[in-house]
Amino acid sequence: MTANPSAELLDNLLTMADRATAVREKIRVWSMSGVERLTFPDATTAIFKYAKRPFDCEDQALRLAHTLGVPVPQVRASAVLDGWLGMLMEDLGPAVRDADDLDGVAAAVVLHGTRTAAALPVLDQNQLRTLPNRALDHLARLRKAERWQDTDDVEDALNRIAEASEARSTGATSAPFGWVHSEYHPTSLHLGQRGWRLLDFARTFTGPGLLDLASWHGTLDAPDPVRLRVFLEQYVTAGGTPDALTPRGGLTAENWALGWHRMWAVEWFMEQSIRWINNPATDPAYIKAVRRHLTDVTHLLLEV
């Protein structure tokens, strides 16, 4: 696979858009994706976003969301090259301010109220309860590669969660169930002069909307069920389904949401470690994050 074919991708997109050249300005770049602002000779601008597999279907998700009425940036052209997606998108310009909790619930109500789309992958109760076993499979592959050796505590925690997962995953398809952004943070909500737009749809799926609400405040701090309860109540007040407050899996809605969101993150981190990043040098950071999240999952899902 080409290391990073962004220059060739951009050439293809400029040809598709009938543009000859553009000045590139990096906004955010990391190993698996990048976002740049393009300035054309006539002083107009656009956003160039590129990403490697598994983030290479975002153009389809954005076009689908737009068709169904979700406020998202317009995709003007897209192309795939050697497992990398490139998109030429409208430039939303500078944000007028950062998104706050009330902005977050208002946008979530719109997204979760959008008609479901058959093209999206599904995370229902069956898929949710398999997350700890999928994480155990990733761990086995890592150990086979002589990595993650001193992680018996990770294995023990995943086994305990797996044993409880069938009971704790009940209620997964209770409302709100539908579009899940999956990277739902204040930085994914752009507030501009022409209203708000949701960004970063690379990993969107059909599933429990509570996972979005649980992700809004991030995962760097310890999970705060009281804070999330207030957020859920704001969501209902803003027009979200009252079922968002309903207990599920024998847990409060907030503990269920925070616990399963962290478990979802654990499985994703471990899949990245063995499949998408697959760089032993990153193992210490990933192991640290997985241990921290598993401590949260155990507390939220098992200690009742």
Render the chain in DSSP notation, one character per residue. --S--HHHHHHHHHHHTT----EEEEEEEETTEEEEEEE-TTS-EEEEEEEETTSTTHHHHHHHHHHTT-----EEEEEEETTEEEEEE----S-SS---HHHHHHHHHHHHTSPP-TTS-B--HHHHHTHHHHHHHHHHHHHHTT-S-S-HHHHHHHHHHHHHHHHHTTTTTSSSEEEE-SS-SGGGEEEETTEEEE---TT-EEEETHHHHHHTT-SSSPP-HHHHHHHHHHHHHTT--GGGGS-BTTB-HHHHHHHHHHHHHHHHHHHIIIIIS--GGGHHHHHHHHHHHHHHHIIIII--
| Yes or no: domain 101-302 corresponds to CATH 1.10.645.10 | no
CB-based contact 162:128 (threshold 8 Å): no
DSSP string, 221-247: SPP-HHHHHHHHHHHHHTT--GGGGS-
CATH tag, 6-89: 3.30.200.20
Which pTM was predicted? 0.94
CB-based contact 272:230 (threshold 8 Å): no
Instruction: Give 203's pLDDT tier (boundaries 50, 70, 90).
Output: very high
* 48-to-73, 88, 174 alpha-carbon distances in Å: 12, 5, 38
Domains of the chain, residue spans:
6-89, 101-302
Separation between Cα atoms, residue 57 and residue 159, nearest integer Å: 33
Please state which of the ranges 4-8, 79-83, 88-92, 268-272 shows the lowest mean pLDDT.
Answer: 4-8
pLDDT at 277: 87
- Cβ neighbour number for residue 61 with a 10 Å cutoff: 23
pLDDT at 2: 47
pLDDT at 3: 66
pLDDT at 100: 98
CB-based contact 199:66 (threshold 8 Å): no
pLDDT one-digit tens code per residue, 102-123: 999 999 999 999 999 899 999 9
pLDDT one-digit tens code per residue, 135-175: 999 999 999 999 999 999 999 999 999 999 999 999 999 99
Rg of the chain over CA atoms, in angstroms?
A: 20
Q: Is the pLDDT of residue 304 over 80?
A: no
Q: Which pair of structure tokens corresponds to residue 142?
A: 């890592």
Q: Is the pLDDT of residue 1 over 60?
A: no
Residue 156's contacts (CB-CB under 8 Å, 6 or more residues apart) are none
β-bridge partners, 85: 51, 80
Average confidence score pLDDT of the chain = 95
pLDDT at 276: 85
CB-based contact 258:227 (threshold 8 Å): no
Of all residues in the chain, what percent carry a pLDDT higher than 70? 99
Sign of CA dihedral 192, 197, 198, 201: negative
* 264-to-97, 278, 284, 292 alpha-carbon distances in Å: 30, 19, 20, 13
Of all residues in the chain, what percent carry a pLDDT higher than 90? 91
